[in-house]
Amino acid sequence: MISSQRQFTSNNRHFANRRVPRVILEIESSRASGRSLLRGIADYARHRGPWSFYWEPGGLEKKWPRLKTLNADGIILRDVERVQEVIACGVPAVVIGHSKKEVTGLVNVISDSAAIGRMAAEHLLRVQLRHFAFCGFDDKPWSRLRGQSFSARIREAGYDTHFYRWSRVRAAVSWHSERLYMAEWLRSLPKPIGVMACNDDRGQNVIEACKVAGLRVPDEVAIIGADNDELVCELSDPPMSSVAINFERAGYESAQVLDRLMRGQAAANNTILVPAMHVSARQSTDLLLVSDPQLAKALRFIREHSRQAVGVAAVAAAAGLSRRVLEKRFRTLLARSVLSELRRVRIEQICRLLVETNQPISQIALALGYENVEHIARYFRREKKMTPLAYRKQYGQA
What is the full DSSP assignment across 65-86? GGGGGG--SEEEEE--TTHHHH
Residues 103 and 138 in one domain: no
Q: Which amino acid is at 218?
A: P
Q: What 3-state DSSP class applies to 356?
A: helix
Is residue 238 reached through a cis peptide bond, with omega within 30 degrees of 0 on the bond before it? yes
Q: Which amino acid is at 29?
A: S
Residues 105 and 253 in one domain: yes
User: Shortest CA distance to 274 belongs to which of 398, 117, 112?
Assistant: 112
Residues 139 and 160 in one domain: yes
Provide the residue-wise pLDDT of the chain in tens; the chain has 398 residues. Answer: 444 333 333 333 444 455 688 898 888 888 888 899 999 999 999 988 789 888 766 555 555 556 666 678 888 888 766 677 777 777 888 988 766 677 777 889 999 999 999 999 999 998 889 999 999 998 888 999 999 999 999 999 999 999 998 766 665 567 778 889 999 999 999 999 999 999 999 999 999 999 999 999 998 999 999 999 989 999 999 999 999 999 999 999 999 999 999 988 888 778 898 889 889 889 899 876 667 888 888 888 988 888 888 899 999 999 999 999 999 988 888 888 999 889 888 888 888 888 778 888 888 888 888 878 888 888 888 888 888 888 887 776 65
Q: What 3-state DSSP class applies to 3?
A: coil
Q: What is the pLDDT, as a whole number, of residue 14?
A: 44
User: For residues 77 and 93, is the Cβ–Cβ distance under 8 A?
Assistant: yes
Q: What is the pLDDT, as a whole number, of residue 5?
A: 39
Residues 148 and 120 in one domain: yes
Q: Which amino acid is at 169?
A: V
Residues 251 and 351 in one domain: no
Alpha-carbon distance 295 to 333, whole Å?
Answer: 9
Residues 254 and 231 in one domain: no
Number of domains in the chain: 3
Residues 68 and 118 in one domain: no
Q: What is the pLDDT, as a whole number, of residue 289?
A: 66
Residues 312 and 361 in one domain: yes
Is residue 259 one of the residues assigned to a domain?
Answer: yes
Residues 237 and 270 in one domain: no
**Across the strands, what pairs with 228?**
none
Residues 121 and 32 in one domain: no
Residues 179 and 217 in one domain: yes
Is residue 372 one of the residues assigned to a domain?
Answer: yes
Residues 304 and 264 in one domain: no
Supply the CATH number for residue 161's domain. 3.40.50.2300
Q: What is the pTM of this model?
A: 0.77
User: For residues 113 and 146, is the Cβ–Cβ distance under 8 A?
Assistant: yes
Supply the CATH number for residue 355's domain. 1.10.10.60
Is residue 5 one of the residues assigned to a domain?
Answer: no
What is the secondary structure of 214-273 as a DSSP string?
A: T--TTTTEEEEEEE--HHHHHHSSSPPEEEEE-HHHHHHHHHHHHHHHHTTPPPS-SEEE
Which one of 235, 264, 285 terminates a domain?
Answer: 285
Q: What is the pLDDT, as a whole number, of residue 171?
A: 53
Residue-range definition of the domain harbouring residue 302: 293-395
Is residue 166 one of the residues assigned to a domain?
Answer: yes
